[in-house]
Amino acid sequence: MRRLFGALALLLPLLMVGAAPSAHAGGKLVVAKGDGPVVGSGSRIRYRVAFEAGISMDRQFFVDMVQGTLGDRRGWGHANSFRRVQSAPYRFTVVLASRATTDQLCYPFQTNGLYSCYNNGRAVINLYRWRHGAASYAGHLRSYRHYVISHEIGHALGHQHQYSCLASGLAPVMMQQTKSLYGCQRNPWPFPWVSH
């Protein structure tokens, strides 16, 4: 009986908060091959791009969107330069993954199959959002893709969420614009005032 109570005591915290997903759960990640050009200006940051194996999408298009978003003068490339690499050293990895794998990679953050995240050195972009965007960006899917890349990489660079509109009325890129614009105007860029 004492053993039974001991076992229950060990299991109770897991039953209350939910067990962590298995380290082996979800799809295998495949790193994009080769190194890309340097984009942006300032101190150099190396990063990787990876995909969940088996998902159906244009991988080169995703690589190009990440590179273009980082290199845009309105993007994080305004303050840093970036180079996509295949191997170490690198500062973070941008991952495109299915809803289920996003949930696993983002744990303990609760993405619920709906959101993206930054966790454990990975800016994880939810494939569902990549394909469908968000109501706050209805009719502006390309801009939403710039936003979600900018937002999650912003976390990789150490930036936290923001909650107030900029003086211009635009939403800061670190606002959770996927959920709502909170009275602001949509904005996918960290430095929207810089000439394109």
Asked if 29 contacts 53 with a C-beta cutoff of 8 angstroms, the reply is: yes
As beta bridge partners, residue 67 has none
Stretch 96-116: mean pLDDT: 97
Residue-wise pLDDT for 176-193, tens only, equals 999 999 999 999 999 999
Residue-wise pLDDT for 132-180, tens only, equals 999 999 999 999 999 999 999 999 999 999 999 999 999 999 999 999 9
Stretch 28-47: mean pLDDT: 96
Mean pLDDT, the chain, as a whole number?
A: 88
The pTM for the full model equals 0.86
- For the cut 90, the answer to whether the pLDDT of residue 22 exceeds it is no
What is the spatial distance between Cα 167 and Cα 24, in angstroms, rounded to a whole number?
46
Domains along the sequence of the chain with CATH: 25-156 (3.40.390)
Residue-wise pLDDT for 57-75, tens only, equals 899 999 999 999 999 999 9
Other CB atoms within 10 Å distance of the CB of residue 43: 8
